Amino acid sequence: MKGLVHDSLLWRVNTTVGDATQRTSTALLLLVALAGPLVFARAQERKPPSPLYEFRAEHSPDGIGKFFLGREIAQVMGHEAADWLERPERQAEERPDLLMAALKVPAGATVADIGAGTGYYTWRLAQAVGPRGRVLAEDIQPEMLERLRSELARRGFTNVVPTLGSITDPKLPANSVDLVLLVDVYHEFSDPFEMLTALTAALKPGGRIAFVEYRAEDPRVPIKLLHKMSEVQVRREAALHPLEWVETVRSLPWQHVIIFRKKPPTP
């Protein structure tokens, strides 16, 4: 269709002759023809639903009764269950070595570990970015950050900045982060649209965001349904933001890693 519109308008430009009025009309038509792709692209962008969230009295006991694009938001795991984050079985269940290899974190990068918890991935990221890099370890629970500080001190890492965020704002500077890592946390955001808006703003142009979620497509993954997410749902929600899908890594035992890149600003 776009080609037909362009051909029609350009034919009129090439064949219109006459006085100044006709030439003015020709110039306007040419501008419309050149602007066509931009108008078409903007028309294709997803718009946030209105109202943004839906609330239901009947819902899963594992959820909060708040829905976003058809997905019920899961309850947050409190700091009282923090020992589960350091369970010995996690090494085999999640293979953090495979995740770190998939992320390809460059030395000297600035990385945000969102929902950092006890720091299970924070210290691995700190190791990857090296002394010239920095990790912003964000969580909304002060108790989690206290455990994280203790773990980092024990391991001797000094290139981590613990950050207390809120449910709508991770408190990250704009255009400052090369990579945002979300490990088993996005599905618990009570305000996912607002949080992803803030996280996207924190990314540098071309910066990446990685959603690591238990695969909802696989019934063999022994995790409660609301604490899993499908690739389709992650991509549906990311499409509301200036993010472009890069790749989906499926080499982890139970999780997939869905990676997006921040789009350049529209001229």
Q: How confident is the model at residue 45 (pLDDT cuts 50, 70, 90)?
A: low
Q: How confident is the model at residue 6 (pLDDT cuts 50, 70, 90)?
A: very low
78 lies in some domain = yes
Section 80-89 average pLDDT: 95
49 lies in some domain = no
Query: In terms of pLDDT, which residue wins out, 163 or 26?
Result: 163
Residue 257 burial by CB count (10 A; 0-12/13-18/19+): exposed, middle or buried? Answer: buried
How many residues can be counted in the chain? 267
The pLDDT value recorded for residue 266 is 78
18 lies in some domain = yes
One domain for residues 81 and 155: yes
Q: Which of 85, 66, 33, 93 is nearest to 191 (CA)?
A: 66
Section 208-221 average pLDDT: 98
One domain for residues 99 and 164: yes
Residue-wise pLDDT tens digits, 177-187: 999 999 999 99
Q: What is the CATH number of the domain that holds 87?
A: 3.40.50.150
One domain for residues 107 and 24: no
One domain for residues 32 and 58: no
One domain for residues 101 and 183: yes
Section 137-144 average pLDDT: 97
Answer yes or no: is pLDDT of 32 > 60: no
Contact partners, residue 42, CB within 8 Å, separation at least 6: 266
Q: How many domains does the chain have?
A: 2
One domain for residues 27 and 108: no
The pLDDT value recorded for residue 233 is 98
208 lies in some domain = yes
Could you tell me if 115 and 78 are in contact, meaning their C-beta atoms sit under 8 angstroms apart? Answer: no
One domain for residues 37 and 60: no
The two tokens of residue 171 are 């408190």
Q: How confident is the model at residue 267 (pLDDT cuts 50, 70, 90)?
A: confident
One domain for residues 31 and 95: no
Q: Within 13 A of 107's CA, how many CA atoms are on the CB side? A: 3
67 lies in some domain = yes
One domain for residues 19 and 130: no
**Residue 174 in 3-state DSSP?**
coil
267 lies in some domain = no
One domain for residues 151 and 249: yes
One domain for residues 76 and 158: yes
Answer yes or no: is pLDDT of 28 > 60: no
Omega before residue 51 within 30° of 0, cis: yes
The pLDDT value recorded for residue 261 is 98
Domain span at residue 93?
54-262
